[in-house]
Chains A and B, each alone.
Chain A
Amino acid sequence: MSSLSISRIKTESRFVQWVLIGVALLYLFLLLFLPIILILVSALKKGFPMYVQALQDPETWVAIKLSLFVAVVAVPLNVIFGLFAAWAITKYSFRGKSLLLALIDLPLSVSPVISGMIFVLLFGANGFLGEFLAAHGIRVIFAVPGIILATVFVTFPYVAREVIPVMKAQGKDEEEAAMTLGANGFQIFTKVTLPNIKWGLFYGVILCNARALGEFGAVSVVSGHIRGVTTTLPLHVEILYNEYAFAAAFSVASLFIGLALFTLLLKHIVGFRLKREGLK
């Protein structure tokens, strides 16, 4: 197959080849590379000391801590959910299996703003559970729990979607072999299943984490933008930008560039491992 497509490309004229590659590169340069450079340039416009100062701002620190806290809660929850869902879907057959698969993908196909509004409708002051929560003094919307819920909702497909194909490819022979050898459920999971899916799982965690830290839309709806209390890092960037503090906004934004590059690197390494083990 590959040799076929290679030989076909070779029959295209050189000119067409260069035009196609040129267009693709120009496109990437304009839409990806240039913005990244511009963010870094804008962040450092007023000099490196200003850059450091912007990052040391107390409100920035609160935002960083809140974002990290949200990710630390949301990612493990989705790891647990993702593993359960993947296990159920790949090892058992049951009614509603395809519905479950479709539901896992739902957050990817719904606008994040709508995802946020779902929680406002559910937990907001006039929402379905609003009165009950108010009576018990529990704040969800315009508070940290709401931000975590919205983040969990938006990021829950990532782990499940990465683990399901890996588990599917491996079947259940090894688990059954372990069972006949006398292993209990916990031993089977920790000694057989987990080592086999670890790279797929890690891949899912990386993507899930990047999305959890960067989520804007859904979090924006439920956070209420209370400065220094419910502003996550992306929301903080928006606030700075709206207040014309461009250099500060871009300084904080450069943190995301760092995160993106780090994620990309990890993704690459893990993707390579998965490929080497013949699973992707």
Chain B
Amino acid sequence: MSIEIKSVSKSFGEFESLKSIDLVIETGELLALLGPSGSGKTTLLRIIAGLESADSGQIYFSGENLIDTGAKDRQVGFVFQHYALFRHMTVFDNIAFGLRVKPKAVRLSEAKIKEKVSELLSLIHLDWVADRFPSQLSGGQRQRIALARALAVEPRILLLDEPFGALDSKVRKELRQWLRRFHHDLKITTIFVTHDQEEALEVSDRVVVLNKGEIEQVGTPEEVYHRPANSFVAEFLGDVTLFRGRVDDQSVYVRPHQFEVMHVSDDPHAVHAEIIFLNPAGPLVKMELSGPDEQLIQVSLSQSEYAELKLKKGEKVYVRPKEVIGGDYCI
């Protein structure tokens, strides 16, 4: 199921949430809508689901215009940030809900429904919770059940609104990888909304970066990270230091790992800076340096480089960009 969004706009009173958005989502793709809060990403997802109406524009599912079709008839699976499980129903009844509300003519028999719910429960590895209530489960379990519930009605597309936003970071990481594998097996066209750039880069096939109701860039995780289209994307997708007029009289962005740190240097491109923060815990050693004009420079080094240089907090060193964002520029 491919989705085509054509000049979709939406305002809430004075606030323009979406400004004429055009976007094509390919069949089977796992797409991330990434942006800060207020960028319009959730509104766009809700318009695709039919939970919100667009002020203007069209939405096509495999060529079929669905702009006037309500959420009830769009056959989309929607997963909410706070799960939105039916709190008075057991897990089983939650997953069976979409199957049971179908008109009599197309409804499965209760035995078939039971079979299908059991299948879904084993797909999410939660067979043993069928008779429990949502309040008795952890956040991660609830979110997987919300996903199973959405999948029960065999939706044409799957939409997830900040699906891991309410979970703690360890569970979030596990569920990310799980979603990735899950999508790989099912190959259902999936769009998920997130404000977490790491999540978007790690999970999706393509990332759409939104800001103030407009698309800043669409590309693979590699493209948006290494070749950002503009300064907003460069800054939003990871820590950067802005070097103004230092390299060929141009403003360039440098990511923390693109720096080289030296005790002595006569390179004109290197700057003298003081280490004001140093955190060696983790796969990379993270540092913050205060450069000329007290400019903050964020640098990350490998553990072996760090060990070799024997750096200490308060020490003055030379830092030099080995390369910059958007180019293979090397000094």
The interface of chain A, by Cβ under 8 A from chain B, is 173-174, 176-184, 187, 191-192, 195-196
A181–B153 touching, CB < 8 Å: yes
Q: CB distance A181 to B84 under 8 Å?
A: no
Residue of B nearest to A194 (CB): B88
CA distance A176 to B80 in the complex (A): 9
Say yes or no: A182-B72 contact (C-beta < 8 A), given A176-B51, A187-B101, A195-B88.
yes
From the candidates A174, A191, A196, name the one contacting B101 in the complex (CB within 8 A).
A191
Alpha-carbon distance A177/B102, docked complex (angstroms)? 15
Closest 6 CB pairs of A and B: A181-B98, A173-B84, A180-B78, A177-B84, A183-B101, A195-B88
| Contact (Cβ within 8 A) A183 B72 | yes
Cross-interface CB contact of A180 among B85, B87, B102, B150, cutoff 8 Å: B150
Contact assessment for B88 and A182 in the assembled complex, using a CB-CB cutoff below 8 Å: no
- Assess the B72–A173 pair: CB atoms within 8 A: no
List B contacts of A180 (CB < 8 A).
49-51, 71-72, 74, 76-78, 150
Looking at the assembled complex, report how far the CB atom of B250 sits from the nearest CB atom of chain A, in whole angstroms: 48
Which chain A residues border B50 with CB–CB below 8 Å? 180
Give the CA-CA distance A86 to B205 in the complex, in Å: 44
Residue of A nearest to B52 (CB): A176
Say yes or no: A181 contacts B88, CB within 8 Å: no
Interface of A, helix, strand, loop or mixed by DSSP: helix
Q: Are A196 and B82 in contact (CB under 8 A)?
A: no
A183 x B87 contact (CB < 8 A):
no
B98 engages A176 (CB within 8 Å)? no
When C-beta atoms are compared, the residue in chain B nearest to A181 turns out to be: B98
Q: A184-B101, A196-B88 are in contact. Are A173 and B149 (CB under 8 A)?
A: no
Is A182 touching B86 in the complex (CB atoms < 8 A)? no
Residue with the greatest number of chain A CB neighbours at <10 A, chosen from B51, B75, B82, B86: B86
Do the beta carbons of A181 and B101 come within 8 Å of each other? yes
With A and B bound together, what is the CA distance between A177 and B88 in angstroms? 14
**Contact A174 B84, beta carbon cutoff 8 Å:** yes
A199 to chain B, nearest CB (A): 11
Are A181 and B82 in contact (CB-based, < 8 A)? no
Chain B residue numbers with a CB within 8 Å of A192 are: 86
Which of B50, B71, B102, B152 has most A Cβ within 10 Å?
A: B71
Is B97's beta carbon under 8 Å from chain A?
yes
Number of interface residues of B (CB under 8 A): 28
Would you give the shortest CB distance from B38 to chain A, in whole angstroms? 18
Residue with the greatest number of chain B CB neighbours at <10 A, chosen from A173, A179, A181: A181
Expressed in whole angstroms, the Cα–Cα distance for A173 and B73 within the complex equals 18
CA distance A181 to B73 in the complex (A): 9
- State how many angstroms separate the Cβ of B93 from the closest Cβ of chain A: 9
6 inter-chain pairs at a CB distance below 8 angstroms, sorted by A residue, are A176-B80, A177-B84, A177-B86, A179-B51, A182-B98, A182-B101
- B80 is contacted by which of A177, A191, A196 (Cβ under 8 Å)? A177
Given that A181-B149, A182-B153, A191-B101 are contacting pairs, would A176 and B71 also be in contact in the complex, using a CB cutoff of 8 Å?
yes
A182 to B154, CA, bound (A): 11
Cα A192 to Cα B88 with chains together (Å): 8
Set of chain B residues within 8 Å of A187, measured between Cβ atoms: 101
Residues on B with C-beta less than 8 A from A173 are 80, 82, 84
Most chain A Cβ neighbours within 10 Å, of B73, B75, B88, B146: B88
Within 8 A of A (CB), among B139-155: 146, 149-150, 152-153
B residues 50-89 with Cβ under 8 Å of A?
Answer: 50-51, 70-78, 80, 82, 84-88
Across-interface contacts of B86 in A (CB, < 8 A): 174, 177-178, 191-192
1/0 contact string of B83-111 vs chain A (CB within 8 Å): 01111100000000110011000000000
CB distance from A264 to the nearest CB of B (A): 27
CA distance A47 to B152 in the complex (A): 69
In the bound assembly, the distance between CA atoms of A173 and B79 in angstroms comes to: 10
Indicate if the CB atoms of B97 and A178 lie closer than 8 Å: yes
A100 to B97: give the CA distance in the assembly, Å: 34
Taking CB atoms, residues of chain A closer than 8 Å to B51 are 176, 179-180
